[in-house]
Structure 1
Amino acid sequence: MTGPDVSLVPEHVVAVDVGGSGARLVAVPARGTDGTDGAADPGGAPITLTGRPVRITASGSDAADVVAELVDALAVRQPGLRVAAAAVSVTGLPSLVPDPGALHAVLQAAGAPATAVAADALAAHLGALGGRPGAVAAVGTGAIVLATDLRRRWHRADGWGHLLGDLGSGSWIGAHGLRAAVATHDERPGPASPTLLAAALERFGPVDGWPAALYGRPDRAHVLASFTPAVADAAAAGDLVASGILHDAGTHLAESLAAALRPGIPPLAAVTGGVLQIGAPVTTPLKARLSALRPDVRLVPADGSPLDGALRLARSLVDPRDGELVEPHDTWLTVRATTHPSPASAGKEIRA
């Protein structure tokens, strides 16, 4: 039985977003049949896949394994697909990813002649502000703010992981919810939250087992963040302790944004990530605190997600009309592409 005729398969650009709560891959035609971007081509429906969260061990992040699993799944889903360029957005770059070159190697093994590996903060920036300079807070399992002109000025606030920072993130909210539950269990003085304690007992079992259930897990940040919806539900039900946690989360995010917006960076900001789904209990104190600290800053809705940013980056590698979207940087972005691939040579068949 013969395989697919790869000459009939349009070239695709591939983007992957690897985070603490899961991973996503999207592949879209590099160009539409009418010469426009593939996303505008009615016959060019995107291929989407999801994967597991990244794991952090003593040797660092296993992000390269996550990307390899998704690329293998893509090869099964779409045999013969040709890749013109690929980009990865990855959490923990550079502090927890021991070798970004391993991510390039996975993409190149899939047939991509032009590859980019970006920190999730940069991909979030490109997605939220659409390639404009400014500051973006990416708030999911972790939290990091990147303020940049995408050329020479790069300023970071937070993103230090759930043990040292990530203030206002999902892991931060979840951890503070569990601390409040433990305080209620111990009957310590101060505001109590029977609602949070009951939710934590239902999710994690008896309190005595929580240390063993949490401390040794390589995905501890993800597990902590999984309690965030319970904190949001408690706040919506009128729990004052939960409401205070969400208020503090928004305040912390505003303070990180203000800290990152240094001279030379336009006073433009956006916030993106799953924590924003909580809505006003986080965003109202965020806006109020940012306005008090930096009244000159214009806070705008995010245009897109980190996956959108990674896709924008992948497209810029293959289409010379897009130009250089962002200058490579030792910390935030590495690129392996000497020239823009030609239409005749850009796509290679993806290999399982």
Structure 2
Amino acid sequence: MTGHDVPLAPEHVVAVDVGGSGARLVAVPAHGTGGTDGTDGTPISLTGRPVRISAAGSDAADVVAELADALAVRRPGLRVAAAAVSVTGLPSLVPDPGALHDVLQAAGARSTAVAADALAAHLGALGGRPGAVAAVGTGAIVLATDLRRRWHRADGWGHLLGDLGSGSWIGAHGLRAAVATHDGRPGPASPTLLAAALERFGPVEGWPAALYGRPDRAHVLASFTPAVADAARAGDLVANGILHDAGTHLAESLAAALRPGIPPLAAATGGVLQIGEAVTTPLKARLSALRPDVRLVPADGTPLDGALRLARSLVDPRDGELVEPHDTWLTVRAASARSATSAIAPTSPATAGKENRA
């Protein structure tokens, strides 16, 4: 090495989690042992906007490109050995998963993985063990798998068709209860929920126009979930009933997904679980009644941890392949012809496609 040589920075692995409530990126040394909490090395953490859903599908590739640009500005010349992205709606709303690979590789990653958020949640919550995981945020989906040949899904059909027990489901039911109270319909009333909804959304007459035309409607509905949780803690019977039903629905989805051939191991992860016992107690009770053989364990980590585990497995698969690729849940691109010294660079979905065709 001459006096003019500059030593190469350590290689990193990058994980991205893109969802309906926002996006997160973390970059850590490729050969470190730490997670996303900064216990080893110095993680680089960034946040981004939620995905938007239109008639053309999800704009997840744009979200990842924006985060890649931000990372290039934050740490110029960062070398990326591998990158993995966890994305909501991959089975149904992402029109071209290949575009996500293009963005990651145009940004400098040599090996890339694109996983459904349910799989990343599974890998984070069960640490690479087979079983079933309920991922419960803005939406709700259960994935049960042996990580090889058996894959079973329950729910995850979006806030109009399913996502039972999710943030959008809880928020929507809270608003329905508020409207029923406003109308004076028979049945339990919730002045607490009505007051909270009026404070957040204004007069009831404006709610349809404020909600129905929004592309981020599920996120807006989920934003009312904290108000439902607060009302429940204050003793509101209607709010407590909504949260009880949410936990029950999640248990029923877990039981439905745990088909023969999948070990009877389960976990639940996501922001809704942070509400606490109002959701988790009925979840445990209903799952125990439906499937007494199932062991429900605390989640080891988050979907971002799962994406990071997946990215690391592309670099150092010491225990063999972490999970077999699957057309629906996971696609992988092996190391490309890029130089091992490739650095992350600003990119966009448009430039990504051009670079990969060159």
Q: TM-score, normalised by structure 2?
A: 0.89
Q: Is the 8 A contact 1:6 1:80 kept in 2?
A: no
Q: CA deviation at 1:8?
A: 3.0
Are residue 301 (structure 1) and residue 298 (structure 2) matched?
Answer: yes
Counterpart-to-counterpart distance in 2, 1:334 and 1:65: 19
Q: Is the 8 A contact 1:111 1:349 kept in 2?
A: no
Q: Aligned pair in 2 of structure 1 residues 303, 157: CA closer, same or farther (>3 Å)?
A: same
Q: Secondary structure at the match of 1:7?
A: coil
Q: CA deviation at 1:35?
A: 16
Q: Aligned pair in 2 of structure 1 residues 170, 36: CA closer, same or farther (>3 Å)?
A: closer
Q: Aligned pair in 2 of structure 1 residues 79, 341: CA closer, same or farther (>3 Å)?
A: closer
Q: CA deviation at 1:322?
A: 4.0
Counterpart-to-counterpart distance in 1, 2:290 and 2:37: 40
Q: CA deviation at 1:94?
A: 1.9
Q: Aligned pair in 2 of structure 1 residues 339, 12: CA closer, same or farther (>3 Å)?
A: closer
Q: CA deviation at 1:58?
A: 1.0
Report Cα offsets for 1:42-98 as digits up to 9, x if no partner. Answer: xx2110000111111111100000000001000000001000000000000120000
Q: CA deviation at 1:24?
A: 0.3
Q: Secondary structure at the match of 2:148?
A: coil
Q: Is the 8 A contact 2:53 2:59 kept in 1?
A: yes
Counterpart-to-counterpart distance in 2, 1:31 and 1:122: 23
Counterpart-to-counterpart distance in 2, 1:80 and 1:110: 11
Alpha-carbon RMSD across the aligned residues, in angstroms, is: 5.2
Q: CA deviation at 1:321?
A: 1.5
Report Cα offsets for 1:198-249 as digits up to 9, x if no partner. Answer: 0000000000110111011111000000000000000000000000000000
Counterpart-to-counterpart distance in 2, 1:52 and 1:149: 32
Q: Is the 8 A contact 2:13 2:82 kept in 1?
A: yes
Q: Aligned pair in 2 of structure 1 residues 29, 259: CA closer, same or farther (>3 Å)?
A: same
Q: Secondary structure at the match of 2:13?
A: strand
Q: Is the 8 A contact 1:82 1:347 kept in 2?
A: no
Q: TM-score, normalised by structure 1?
A: 0.91
Give the unaligned 5+ runs of structure 2.
333-342
Q: 1:41 corresponds to which residue?
A: none
Q: CA deviation at 1:338?
A: 20
Q: Aligned pair in 2 of structure 1 residues 307, 338: CA closer, same or farther (>3 Å)?
A: closer
Q: 2:31 corresponds to which residue?
A: 31
Q: Aligned pair in 2 of structure 1 residues 82, 250: CA closer, same or farther (>3 Å)?
A: same
Q: Is the 8 A contact 2:64 2:103 kept in 1?
A: yes
Report Cα offsets for 1:72-130 as digits up to 9, x if no partner. Answer: 00000000100000000000012000000110000000111100000000000000000
Give the unaligned 5+ runs of structure 1.
39-43
Counterpart-to-counterpart distance in 2, 1:34 and 1:166: 33
Q: 2:100 aligns with which of 98, 103, 107?
A: 103
Q: CA deviation at 1:5?
A: 7.7
Counterpart-to-counterpart distance in 1, 2:295 and 2:149: 22
Counterpart-to-counterpart distance in 2, 1:117 and 1:62: 14
Q: Secondary structure at the match of 1:24?
A: strand
Q: Is the 8 A contact 1:128 1:302 kept in 2?
A: yes
- The number of residue pairs the alignment matches comes to 346
Counterpart-to-counterpart distance in 2, 1:230 and 1:58: 31
Q: CA deviation at 1:34?
A: 13
Counterpart-to-counterpart distance in 1, 2:205 and 2:351: 60
Q: Is the 8 A contact 2:130 2:145 kept in 1?
A: yes
Q: Aligned pair in 2 of structure 1 residues 175, 340: CA closer, same or farther (>3 Å)?
A: closer
Query: Following TM superposition, where does structure 1 have runs of at least 4 consecutive aligned residues deviating by more than 4 angstroms?
Result: 1-6, 33-38, 337-352
Q: Aligned pair in 2 of structure 1 residues 30, 146: CA closer, same or farther (>3 Å)?
A: same
Q: CA deviation at 1:9?
A: 1.2
Counterpart-to-counterpart distance in 2, 1:138 and 1:103: 22
Q: Is the 8 A contact 2:76 2:345 kept in 1?
A: no
Counterpart-to-counterpart distance in 2, 1:97 and 1:264: 29
Q: Is the 8 A contact 1:124 1:136 kept in 2?
A: yes
Q: Is the 8 A contact 1:141 1:169 kept in 2?
A: yes
Counterpart-to-counterpart distance in 2, 1:36 and 1:299: 24
Q: Aligned pair in 2 of structure 1 residues 36, 160: CA closer, same or farther (>3 Å)?
A: closer
Moved more, 339-348 or 17-26: 339-348
Moved more, 268-277 or 29-38: 29-38
Q: Aligned pair in 2 of structure 1 residues 3, 16: CA closer, same or farther (>3 Å)?
A: farther
Q: Is the 8 A contact 1:80 1:350 kept in 2?
A: no
Q: CA deviation at 1:323?
A: 2.2
Q: Aligned pair in 2 of structure 1 residues 344, 302: CA closer, same or farther (>3 Å)?
A: same
Q: CA deviation at 1:347?
A: 20
Q: Is the 8 A contact 1:49 1:74 kept in 2?
A: yes
